[in-house]
Structure formats: structure tokens, C-alpha cells
Amino acid sequence: ETYRSAIASYRRRHSFSWKTLLIVTLLACGAVLMVAPFVWIIQLAFTSNVAQVYEIPPRWFPATPTLNNFAEVFNQVPFERFMFNSLKVASAITIGQLVICSTGAFAFARLRFPGRDLLFILLLSGLMVPLQVTIVPLFILMRELGLYNTHWALILPPLANPFGVFLLRQYIMSIPKELDEAARIDGASIFTIYWRIILPLIGPALVTLAILAFVFWWNDFFFPLIMINKPALQTLPVGLTLLRGRYDAGSLATVASGITMAVVPILIVFLLLQRNIIKSIATSGLKG
């Protein structure tokens, strides 16, 4: 009897319902649709025959792989300069957001001051305003400050990120306040509580914010296009447009090679640290 109950229990734990099978099938189809363009771009980067680029249906594996397309990218544009500019801008924005968003989130989660909830609502309302709406006043402001055509015009505006403050605040709210009270009894100041207690405990959320901020501003095209006019200061997404050539007559395989080199590093970082994103979002939703 015990043997039969164990088998039945095993079957119940490892059985799949039709609903689960349908959901898995739909998710698998969605994953294929999302991954297919990236696979096509990567194989296009290794294609040596230009005629294969325009074949329908498209090829998923190049017939004669080559690395000449990657070398051509460095011959046509200063790719290493564009990558350095993107790394500089994205890293500065990421570090700045971690500092500003963590301090702001700590204030909204732990400190009590008049109008705190109203200010937080006003902060969140900034999430509903797209960048395209504020780009004109931002452009005028950067020009009047003498920051136009400098990397500061790209770094300073995104430092205050409402989403980052919201994410970290929700994570801090899930931390028991008894830890703060115990630290206060021991004579800890507000800054000590923030530095010694809160920051170590919100590590996964900080990693999540860092990944999201770095990936977003590494791939941003619109903001550098407006704020930067000097080719030597351009970031990678805008600089890669030079590979198209005049009148869009550039080699599509060369463009794909540049895109591949720009995407692969970010993809590797995201795949390695994606568990931190899931962990932080799941934990920050425990208490709102």
C-alpha cells in the first residue's frame, strides 16, 4: 500500500495538465519569435556571400562563414571609440542612479517628513511622461548650461530615475524595521543605518537596477542623437548608423557585424545576472 501511494504521489507531482502544456507551448513559440531575429543577425554577420543576405526564406546558418565583416567594421568607423563612449556614459549613469536612487528610496521608505507620500506620488507620475515630451526643454537647458555636445548632457538628466527609486523603496519596505530600531538603540545615525544595514540587504535590487540602467543607456539611440553632434563623441548605437554608408548603400553584413559586437557583451552580462532580477522583483513585491 505504501509503495502504491508513493507511485501515485510521484505521478501527481510530475504530471502535466493540458493547461500547463498549452502555456509552455505558447511561451516556447514566443521565445522562438523573439530569438529568431537575433539568430538571423548573427549568422548574417558571418556571411561572405552578399546574395545570401536577401534570400527568402532566410538562412539560419551561413554557407561559408567568414570574419571579414567584423574587420570591415573597424575599417569603416572608429568602433573602439564609440564603444568607449558608450561604456563611459552607461557606467556613469548606472553609478549615479545607484547612489541617487538608493538614497531617495531610503528616505521615502524609512524617514518621516511632511508631504512624503505626496512627493512619492509626484515622483511616480514622472514614469508616465516619455522622454520625447521633455527632450526640447532638456535640449535648451543643456545648451544654456554649455553642456551641449558633451557627455555631461547625456549623463546628468537620467540620474534621477523614478523607476529606480520605486524599485529600491519596495525592496527596503520588505526589510523589518526592527533592524533600524536596534541600530538606533546602539547609537547608529541615519547614515550609518543606510550604509551598514540597508545597502548590504538590498544588494539584489541594486544589481537589478544596475543591469537595467546599463543595458538601457548602452542601447539608447534617441538621446545621444539629439544631444551630441560631434562624431568623435557619439555613442555606439548612433555611431553604428555610419556603417549604412551614404544613401544606405553600405553592406548589410557589415552592419550586422557591428550590431553583433554591440549586443553580445550585454547579452552575456544579462544572462549571467538574470537571477538577481527575478529575486529582487519577487522580494520587492512582498510588501508595498
Q: What residues form DSSP beta bridges with 47?
A: 65
The residue behind cell 552580462 is 269
- How far is the C-alpha of 137 from the C-alpha of 169, rounded, in Å? 29
pLDDT at residue 72, as a whole number: 87
Compute the distance between CA of residue 172 and CA of residue 17 in angstroms, rounded to an integer: 38
Question: Distance between CA 267 and CA 231 in Å, rounded?
Answer: 26
User: pTM of the prediction?
Assistant: 0.81
Task: Give the residue ranges of the chain where pLDDT is below 50.
Answer: 247, 285-288
If you search the block for the grid coordinates 544631444, which residue do you land on?
A: 227
- pLDDT computed for residue 285 by the predictor: 47
pLDDT attached to residue 287: 43
Task: Specify the pLDDT at position 288.
Answer: 41
Contact of 171 with 202, CB cutoff 8 Å: yes
pLDDT at position 2 is 59
C-alpha cell at 94: 548606472
| Interatomic CA distance for residues 262 and 241, integer angstroms | 12
226-278 pLDDT, tens digit each: 999 998 899 999 988 888 765 455 678 888 889 888 887 787 777 777 776 66
Residue 224 confidence (pLDDT)? 93
Report how far apart, in Å, the C-alpha atoms of 182 and of each of 41, 185, 224, 253 are. Answer: 55, 5, 47, 61
Name residue, grid cell 537595467: 212
Please return the burial class of 180, using the count of CB atoms within 10 Å of its CB with bins 0-12, 13-18 and 19+: middle
Query: Of how many residues is the chain composed?
Result: 288
